[in-house]
Amino acid sequence: MSAVVVACDLDRTLIYSAAALRLGGDDEQAPAMTVAEVFEGEPVSFWTRDAEEMIGDLVEAAWFVPTTTRTRKQYARVRFPEPGPRYAVTSNGGHILVDGEPCADWTATVHARLGECAPLAEVVEHLRVVAEQPWVRKHRVAEDLFTYLVVHRDLLPPTFVDDLTAWCAARGWTVSLQGRKVYCVPAPLTKSAAVAEVAQRVGADLTFAAGDSLLDADLLVAADRAFRPAHGELHEAGWQTPHLTVTRRAGVAGGEEIVARLLAAVRAQAAASGARGAAGVPGATVDAVAGS
């Protein structure tokens, strides 16, 4: 039996802060929403009620793998419908979680690959020079893997991201601006590599993926089918790849559309595989995570 992996970014793809609910200027009435994340006793991220229900369906129909730049601690705050995903990718591919626990073998593989680029300490020191500027709110290091700034977007110097991107590229690092955060991430640290590892473990023939930022681009390129919302870093750049579908709507409604399209793609693949099998042609079937 083979499987389909569905790798989905979280922030501004699947879940949305209150400030991001209407990304893209959608003036339509917001759909019914439920809380996706609680932090310090307060709801901080949301998805639509329909999206939440369809996520439960995805967990039953495929290997649904949340794939995020969030750290393990940040990821643990997200409330998925029970029984929840078996696998997750956090820290931009730095960790693969299996039933909530990090895979030690993958962690060791990642740290070996990070020797291909400049050390974290060099990039941290470079950002520390600007950390006291009035447009910087916080400077953070995530799990000794990458570093980022939390900034005031309206005060961000116009050339800062481009200048930082060029500086990091010369050292084997990448830069991504997502909301209020400017990420500096080692080039070998990718979501696509971690998702490929999960796909190999579960015997997946196909990977479907969704994301909104430059840190998702490698994941979308590597997938057999890719989806992105009509907002975010990739949308602003007009980013495309041949097997990509862009949602019609933006904001949390676009997030719901992504879940619906992923679920439809999984079900269509299962139906096509069943039809091929009935015709005597070997075809893949979709395993249910909850039954594995």
Euclidean distance between CA atoms 61 and 147, whole angstroms = 35
255-287 pLDDT, tens digit each: 999 999 999 999 999 998 875 554 433 333 333
Neighbours of 181 (CB within 10 A): 18
Neighbours of 101 (CB within 10 A): 10
Neighbours of 285 (CB within 10 A): 14
Residue 179 has a pLDDT of 84
Residue 278 has a pLDDT of 47
Provide the residue type at 75 as one letter: Y
List where CATH 3.40.50.1000 sits in the chain: 3-112+189-291
Euclidean distance between CA atoms 214 and 281, whole angstroms = 39
| % of the chain beyond a pLDDT of 70 | 91
Checking if the pLDDT of 26 tops 60, the result is: no
Query: Does the domain at residues 118-186 carry the CATH identifier 2.60.40?
Result: no
Query: Which residues fall within 8 angstroms of residue 143, CB to CB, at 6 or more apart?
Result: 71, 72, 91, 94, 95
Provide the residue type at 171 as one letter: R
204-221 pLDDT, tens digit each: 999 999 999 999 999 999
What does the block give as tokens for 108? 């060791």
What does the block give as tokens for 57? 């369906």
What does the block give as tokens for 249? 């709507």
DSSP state for residue 259 in the 8-state scheme: H
What's the whole-number mean pLDDT along residues 4-19? Answer: 96
Residue positions counted in the chain: 292
Which CATH number does the domain 3-112+189-291 belong to among 3.40.50.1000, 3.30.70.20, 3.40.190.80, 3.40.109.10? Answer: 3.40.50.1000
What's the whole-number mean pLDDT along residues 173-201? Answer: 96
Checking if the pLDDT of 1 tops 60, the result is: no
List where CATH 3.30.1360 sits in the chain: 118-186
31-87 pLDDT, tens digit each: 799 999 999 999 999 999 999 999 999 999 999 999 999 999 999 999 999 999 999
